[in-house]
Homo-oligomer: A and B are copies of this chain.
Amino acid sequence: MSGRVTMKDVAAALGVSTATVSRALKDDPAISLATRRAVLEMAQRVQYRPSAAARRLRTKSTSLIGVVVQSVGDGYVGEVVLGIQGRARDLGYQPLFFAAEERADLESEALDVFLSEQVTELIAVSPTGRPELLRRAVAEGMRVAVINADAEVPARFFREVTSGTISSQITRIGSPGRGEPMCHIRFDDVAAGELATTHLAGLGHRAFVHLRGPNVRSGLLRLLGYRRALTALGLWPQPVLTAAFPDMGSRESAVAAFLRQAGPPVAMVAYDDLAAVAALRAAHQAGWRVPEDLSVVGIDDIQFASYTNPGLTTVAQPKHELGALAVDALLTRRGAGPADGRAGPDGAVGPDGAVGPDGAVGPAGPAGPDGAEEVRVLDGQLIIRESTAPAMPVTREEAQ
């Protein structure tokens, strides 16, 4: 006939029933080896392709996993998505991507699509702000995993961490939602801030500065890591720079202003690679050499970090793994999680501030009464390029 080739065709060609074909194709043990081979061969010959629609209608189990990203315009999300697709593929699932560019209408539409497609597992990549989508998704009965949720945080908390005592409220930051039953997969921002800072300290630096991020969770946590590392070293307090985000110019002038009243060498921990690049530009224009006068380390390891001038030392996010782990969290039931990245609190309780951003109340363990709530935290990795160097004593001419 004209249409696609179906099971009936295969069955007819072999003189068997469609039931037999169906069984042979799914390796049902109750089938003779001979017929199975015959079916397989014939299916191959006539180019048979099972109809996903029919199968789903019958079994009610779509092997579909919904993925919402805010935007796939930058490389970061793309890398995570690759991790998701890879792992989903291994588990026989098909990701269904939807880019909701922070628009409420698109998010709503995404949910509609997922519902129509009978998607039961949902991954949100780096959602910022609006929790409606996720709430509605769990309300509809979906299992959801969130990668690097980055909600807004009061500016007051930043002030406290920058120059004050850390209130207990900050302890709640990074808490896995308000008891929403969803998995959280996240990069360890606190540890990243610490790692960047200790790397610089290990190079002999004693004069630090942090170019902080926007008023969101990751911004606060990275700042916290900066402070914690410095406190452990007995070097706290150190300056923290604030700029309007995501305006590149604002960041540059903030750095420029700082450099004007400082002397080399200075060690900078930037909120992320983009902030680090702004610092690179400001330094260049101010006549500071990188890394000789200014060492700077970024966080994230975006693709471009290796192309900056000079190449950027940074703490890399395990982007693929973040994606893969989200899939695991959704698909593999509690118990045998492929061991990678420790499971536990986002930032362990440290000497300064006693902050365990993971659990608000309990003694910080993988939480959730019935296993609905879960947090997996992945460490970053220090990538050393050319933007950091040992702190050298200031030469006479540099000091003028």
CB distance from A110 to the nearest CB of B (A): 10
Contact present for A307 and B72 (CB under 8 Å): no
B residues less than 8 Å from A280 (CB atoms): 309
Say yes or no: is A389 at the interface (Cβ < 8 Å to chain B): no
B residues less than 8 Å from A304 (CB atoms): 304, 307
Interface size class, chain A: 35 or more
B residues less than 8 Å from A96 (CB atoms): 96
Contact present for A118 and B52 (CB under 8 Å): yes
Task: Report the separation of the CA atoms of residues A227 and B307 in the bound assembly, to the nearest whole angstrom.
Answer: 28
Task: Report the separation of the CA atoms of residues A261 and B315 in the bound assembly, to the nearest whole angstrom.
Answer: 39
Task: Report the separation of the CA atoms of residues A69 and B17 in the bound assembly, to the nearest whole angstrom.
Answer: 40
Contact present for A71 and B82 (CB under 8 Å): yes
Task: Report the separation of the CA atoms of residues A334 and B81 in the bound assembly, to the nearest whole angstrom.
Answer: 35
Say yes or no: is A4 at the interface (Cβ < 8 Å to chain B): yes
Say yes or no: is A362 at the interface (Cβ < 8 Å to chain B): no
Say yes or no: is A238 at the interface (Cβ < 8 Å to chain B): no
Say yes or no: is A113 at the interface (Cβ < 8 Å to chain B): yes
8 contacts between A and B (CB under 8 A): A52-B116, A53-B62, A73-B303, A75-B303, A274-B307, A281-B309, A281-B310, A308-B309
| Chain A positions near chain B (C-beta within 8 angstroms) | 3-4, 49-54, 56-57, 60, 62, 71-75, 77-79, 81-82, 85, 89, 94-99, 101, 109, 112-113, 115-118, 248, 274, 277-278, 280-281, 284, 303-304, 306-310
